[in-house]
Amino acid sequence: MELDDIQAIILRDRPIPYYGTVVAIKVHHAAKGRELIAKLLPHVSSSQEFDDRMASNLTIVMTYEGLKQLGVPQDSLDSFPENFKQGMAARAKQLHDVGQNAPENWQKPFGTGQIHVCAAVIADSKANWQKKLQELKSMLDDYVNRDQPDQGAIEILLEHEFGVDEAVKNVFGFRDGIGNPNVAGSGVKKTNDTDLPIASGEFVMGYKGEAGVIPPMPQPEVLGKNGSFMVLRKYHSHVADFNKYCLEQTDSPEEADKLAAKIFGRWRSGASISMARDHDDKALGADEDRNNDFDYSDDDYGKGCPFGAHARRMNPRKTKDFILADVRLHRIIRRSVSYGDIVPPHITEDDGKDRGLFFIGINAHAMDTLEFLQGQWVNDGNFMNIGEERDPLIGVHNGDKNDEGDTFTEPADPIRKRHTGIFQFNTVQGGEYLFVPSLSALKWISELSTQA
């Protein structure tokens, strides 16, 4: 793989701890927008520059509307996948984004077509984050009209911070970002994943995929090759409601903690509940060589990790599927980041603060992959032979905390436990389908010569 041409976010893990900011930009003037891309390009890191984790990095991604606004020729625009052209909001039916998650309830500017470019800074310390962020802002300031935002060459529509400390806990208090696939040719071998590396073309365009052929990609080749696609979804997390639910469904804080682990598929430390079935194992959770080295081949009945648990749904790991599916074709590189503070498990009243997750998934067919995951593994229980049950964490739940809601089944001896009343613990507040250009593609876009 041409690692020096592939943006670092695709193949290199985020740092631990991490601090960052995402900026959503609207381009009003095409030529100035391309000029800005040229200025940002030297600050964008490649996958060649890191051994395994990013230290300080700038990522640049674009929507279909952004590519149009920057002057990408029509024949090139036509070569992009149809669902990318439509955008995430228009694919709400395929994504099961209904009810509370429907696009009409999203926070602006998500789903409006106004987001053209997203720039994200991420770093391994607050000092490096602020230094990199100020570099970005100083470049953006040359194109922004602070008094009349819509009169500038660009307009900043959104600026959002995120980050976690070295414990890498999400707002529910669970260690996050443990399992990502090995990518053939990436130069990184994840010691905690014993699966064979997945073909590079499943994640980076211009290479052979699992089928042994190079899939179609945007044209010309300089635009598509070494690029990928990203799905971004902003979730607001109702942690106090989740805590209250687990406590009400059990008889003690210890049992509530175990139910929470059953729902997630891991304990708060990050230890898999299949490997540590009775209680949390903090040493296992902290051991990066062991905490992802497992599968479900010895857990046929789900008495360790329930079939409906979030982690098992998202990566069935040799579960005996009831519907044939090649798991290797549906893996996604997760670069999700948390925002807001952690809510301890005993807190059951919402404090009204904004907290949650930016789900970031990367795949050469990211739109198709997300739509498959949302339609099958998240919102349909049939592939695990659990009927109408949905993912308890991110599935669509039509009920609320005042009615019966949905069900989560926990296989157990002597009889299974059925937890009713599952409602929305994470609400989608917006999202976008994004193109992750190679460094060569960013240069090609910046040098386009069209009328502004």
Q: Whole-angstrom Cα distance, residue 49 to residue 54?
A: 8
Is 215 in the same domain as 242?
no
Is 314 in the same domain as 340?
yes
Is 301 in the same domain as 439?
no
pLDDT tens, 347-401?
Answer: 999 999 999 999 999 999 999 999 999 988 888 767 677 778 899 999 988 665 5
Q: If pLDDT is split at 50, 70 and 90, which confidence band does 52 have?
A: low
Is 157 in the same domain as 15?
yes
Alpha carbon 180 to its chain's center: 11
Question: Is it the case that residue 220 has pLDDT exceeding 90?
Answer: yes
Domain count, the chain: 2
Q: If pLDDT is split at 50, 70 and 90, which confidence band does 205 have?
A: very high
Assess if residue 452 is contained within a domain.
no
Q: Whole-angstrom Cα distance, residue 64 to residue 68?
A: 6
What 271-279 contacts at long range (C-beta under 8 Å, 24+ apart), as own/partner pairs, is 272/305, 272/311, 273/304, 273/305, 273/309, 274/299, 274/304, 274/305, 275/304, 277/303, 277/304
Is 133 in the same domain as 90?
yes
Assess if residue 70 is contained within a domain.
yes
pLDDT tens, 22-40?
Answer: 999 999 999 999 999 999 9
The 3-class secondary structure across the chain, one letter per residue, is CCHHHCEHHHHCECCCCEEEEEEEEEECCHHHHHHHHHHHHHHECEHHHCCCECCEEEEEEECHHHHHHCCCCHHHHCCCCHHHHHCCHHHHHHHCCCHHHCHHHCCCCCCCCCCCEEEEEEECCHHHHHHHHHHHHHHHHCCECCCCHHHCCEEEEEEEEEEECCCCECCCCCECCCCCCCECCCCCCCCCCCCCCECHHHCCCCCCCCCCCCCCCCCCHHHHCCCEEEEEEEEEECHHHHHHHHHHCCCCHHHHHHHHHHHHCECCCCCECCCCCCCCCHHHHHCCCCCCCCCCCCCCCCCCCCCCCHHHHHCCCCCCCCCCCCHHHCCCEECCEEECCCCCCCCCCCCCCCCEEEEEEEECCHHHHHHHHHHHHHCCCHHHCCCCCCCCCCCCCCCCCCCCCEEEEECCCCCCEEEEEECCCEEEEEEEEEEECCHHHHHHHHCCCCCC
Assess if residue 328 is contained within a domain.
yes
**pLDDT value for 403:** 57
Is 426 in the same domain as 439?
no
**pLDDT value for 445:** 98
Is 67 in the same domain as 116?
yes
Q: What is the pTM of this model?
A: 0.93
User: Residue range 219-242: average pLDDT?
Assistant: 98
- Higher-confidence residue of 188 and 18: namely 18
Q: If pLDDT is split at 50, 70 and 90, which confidence band does 452 have?
A: very low
Is 144 in the same domain as 88?
yes
Q: If pLDDT is split at 50, 70 and 90, which confidence band does 294 have?
A: confident
- Higher-confidence residue of 325 and 291: namely 291
State what percent of residues in the chain have pLDDT above 70.
92
Is 247 in the same domain as 209?
no
- Contact yes or no for 316/391 (Cβ under 8 A): no
Domain encompassing residue 37: 3-230+434-447
